[in-house]
Amino acid sequence: MKVSMTVNGQQRTDEVEPRLLLAHYLREVCGLKATNIGCDTTSCGACTVVVDGLTVKSCTVLAAQADGAQVTTLEGLAGPDGELHPVQRAFREEHGLQCGFCTPGMVMAAIGVLADNPDPSDREVREGLEGNLCRCTGYHNIVRAVRTAAQAGPTAGQVPQAQEVQA
């Protein structure tokens, strides 16, 4: 079947199997390899991307379900001049990543947390990231990074291409 969607601002149309998962569509068809797959059960959140302004786990969405949608992945966050998104910048400053595998999903989920709550407490960040697993950082610096990013203001809870992450 044919699906059309806008991925990181680029409109595209592809012929896919109905069962193709959005995560595999992004990785294999679009060649966007930042989005990782860490489990089979919608548990780990490594595959989190933003679809029509909302964070979703792309391993549990069919590409066909995203037909017509606007999709943003980690690759779509930095500005054209390479300027980091506030959440990307904060993850670096606070050492919020180690092996990097959970990071693309964690960054996208963090943007969703900040869209929902622009100035969360530690506890609210932890609850907001309950669907994203990290084995390296113990979450300590991820929580700090999200709180640091919040200081940047509303842009920390938004993705580019004028797609706001809705609460």
Q: How far is the CB of 148 from another protein (least distance, A)?
A: 12
Residue 109 DSSP class: H
Q: 12 vs 140, which CB is nearer to another protein?
A: 140
Q: 6 vs 23, which CB is nearer to another protein?
A: 23
**Which of 93, 109, 2 minimizes the C-alpha distance to 51?**
109
The angle formed by the CA atoms of residues 102, 107 and 111, to the nearest 5 degrees, is: 145
Q: How far is the CB of 115 from another protein (least distance, A)?
A: 10
CA terminus-to-terminus distance, the chain:
32
Q: How far is the CB of 77 from another protein (least distance, A)?
A: 7
116 belongs to the binding site for another protein (CB under 8 A): yes
Q: How far is the CB of 120 from another protein (least distance, A)?
A: 12
C-alpha distances (whole Å) from 34 to each of 38, 103, 133, 164 are 12, 9, 16, 21
Tell me which residues in 49-108 interact with another protein (CB under 8 A): 54-57, 59-62, 64-65, 74-75, 77-78, 82, 84, 88, 91-93, 95, 97-104, 107
